[in-house]
Amino acid sequence: MRRDSEVGLKFKVLITGVCGFVGSAIAKTLLDIDPSLQVVGIDNLARTGSARNWRPLQSRGVQLFHGDLRVASDLAAVGRCDWVIDAAALPSVVAGVDGRHSSRQVVETNLMGTLHLLEQCATHRSGLILLSTSRVYSIAELNRLPLNIDDNAFQLSPDVTMVGASTAGISEAFSTRSPISMYGATKLASETMALEYGLAYQFPVWINRCGVLAGAGQFGRPDQGIFAYWIHSHLRRRPLKYIGFAGQGTQVRDCLHPQDLARLLYLQMTEDSTTTRSPVLNVSGGIESAISLHQLTQWCDDRFGPHAIAASTETRAFDLPWIVLDSSRAKDQWNWEPKISVSQVLDEIAAHATANPDWLETSN
């Protein structure tokens, strides 16, 4: 839904969390797709390493604001935009219970920050794109999935009969019943609020439930950027451990490059308002990109040489054996599918890890 013709101004997009891995990648990719875009961004620079992205974004013409979404006046200073892409969050499934952040911080950042954005969108009739997460899906139901082990990876049984689950992955119809973690709860609540605000104040809302996003320059931590963390750590011969699921590393995730996500966001922002599509989408690399920790280790061993991985049978509350999103709706409604393969994502991270030996220390 382009609005530049309505107001006679350049198409203006605000990206929150713009100095994070995902936000900065989206900003750069959108400008690659359409150099006429006016991109502005806001970031509180709380994450170690995020300040590295400030100058590269400025060099691309991105107007940057140092501010916190929890402070409504910080957001008000940005002014009117045609679209808002909400890429700011405390994105860890253990946020609020890991000792790094309090549960109040998680709620204030992930939910109240979004509420302030919604007020801004309502005032200016700006469209909103909310980046949500696969973690809105029920932990209990995901743990009930019938799984087999093949090639050192969990595989979903082909005779699965659970609603919203198939060998293609988890669809948008899968249960979002609690427990889903503090992080998941704030994102699910943000989804509901965004849809209600959009209906009440008549502005467009798109919600993209993303799988694991990964690529070069990601701030690697085991609870947030597992692919980057694992590859950087393996190359540096840092200690690594398979935790849970018999300590075999058979747990599986999918993988999506943020450049592929940005292509979809551009389509959503330039949507013809007369067309009706579902506002909630899974956006992921899907089953084609699914890989286990054990398989990732084998890839690293082939690339960097063997590195021993410790094993622990410890059980942790938020760990899942298998979660792969089915993005069929995005393909059907938007003719969208990932172009960057998991092997390309891993190659890109490995090249970055080789060129930046201190990355984990300076970005964690």
pLDDT tens, 294-329? 999 999 999 999 999 999 999 888 899 999 999 999
- Domain assignment present for residue 40? The answer is yes
Question: What's CA 118's distance to the chain center, in Å?
Answer: 20
- Domain assignment present for residue 270? The answer is yes
List the CATH number of the domain containing 33: 3.40.50.720
Mark the ranges of the chain whose per-residue pLDDT is less than 50: 1-9
The CB density around residue 62, as the number of other CB atoms within 10 Å, is 24
Question: What pLDDT does residue 54 have?
Answer: 94
- Residue 346 CA to residue 218 CA, distance in Å, equals 12
- Domain assignment present for residue 3? The answer is no
Per-residue pLDDT reduced to its tens digit, 276-289: 899 999 999 999 99
Question: What pLDDT does residue 103 have?
Answer: 84
**Structural domain total, the chain:** 1
Number of residues that this document lists for the chain: 364
Q: Which residue has the tokens 């203006």?
A: 12
Look up the domain containing 179 and give its range. 11-362
The pairing of beta strand 83-86 with beta strand 12-16? parallel
- Domain assignment present for residue 2? The answer is no
Question: What pLDDT does residue 236 have?
Answer: 95
The CB density around residue 326, as the number of other CB atoms within 10 Å, is 23
- Residue 147 CA to residue 131 CA, distance in Å, equals 29
- Residue 338 CA to residue 284 CA, distance in Å, equals 8
List CB contacts of 28: < 8 A, sequence separation 6 or more: 56, 57, 60
- Domain assignment present for residue 6? The answer is no
List the end-to-end C-alpha distance of the chain, in Å, as a whole number: 37
Question: What pLDDT does residue 3 have?
Answer: 46
Question: What pLDDT does residue 98 have?
Answer: 67
For residue 144, report the phi and psi dihedrals to the nearest 5 degrees.
Answer: -90, -5
Question: What's CA 67's distance to the chain center, in Å?
Answer: 21
For residue 351, report the phi and psi dihedrals to the nearest 5 degrees.
Answer: -65, -40
Helices 113-124 and 181-201: crossing angle in degrees, nearest 10, is 10
Cis peptide before 321 (omega within 30 of 0): no
Q: What is the CA radius of gyration of the chain?
A: 20
- Residue 345 CA to residue 265 CA, distance in Å, equals 20
- Domain assignment present for residue 121? The answer is yes
